[in-house]
Chains A and B, each alone.
Chain A
Amino acid sequence: NAGVTQTPKFRILKIGQSMTLQCAQDMNHNYMYWYRQDPGMGLKLIYYSVGAGITDKGEVPNGYNVSRSTTEDFPLRLELAAPSQTSVYFCASSYSSLPRAPYEQYFGPGTRLTVT
């Protein structure tokens, strides 16, 4: 199992450009998440998904969009990049069998994004 994979590892964007961060998992997890980590801080949730076709906002969703067409993939789209989006982005996944809350989350290696 590769676990949770993310591409690219690093990216530099100019203000106003757009890009998509890719995330995939091969653990057959139904829940997937995007977090961002600013310097010296813990992670904050951007968006999450409880299954294919279902997504919802987290704590800091402004400036981002997501979609989930398959169980395995959960891309994060940045539109009109701004310096405030300079951060490290982590994708995660977990499994849940309702009504139980999800089990532990597993994280990808992260994408370091700089917007200048």
Chain B
Amino acid sequence: EVQLVESGGGLVQPGGSLRLSCAGTGFTFSLYWMNWVRQVPGKGLEWVANIKQDGSEKYYVDSVKGRFTISRDNAKNSLYLQMNSLRAEDTAVYYCARDRGGADPYYMDVWGKGTTVTVSS
């Protein structure tokens, strides 16, 4: 069964850091672009970042540039999101999502259940 499982969420103070992880199983992880998408409870979806199959290309939404870093370890079938200088507005459920793109990112066909990040003092 194709599956993505996120971990690493929690409560952190403003200005703090957190590292999210996403483990992929049931598919060849290294063949896919991977994404992080977040959702404030009760609100819409916001794409955060993505990374190419070999990690050579990474893209971010403007609001997290310079603060968040996406990375992957294909040997461990894992995706990561290092979040620094966290703000209250980063509070959300963070989803890991597999992308069906090849040379470029496309749409997301497999999603994890999400991990909750709360930024509050």
A and B from one complex:
no
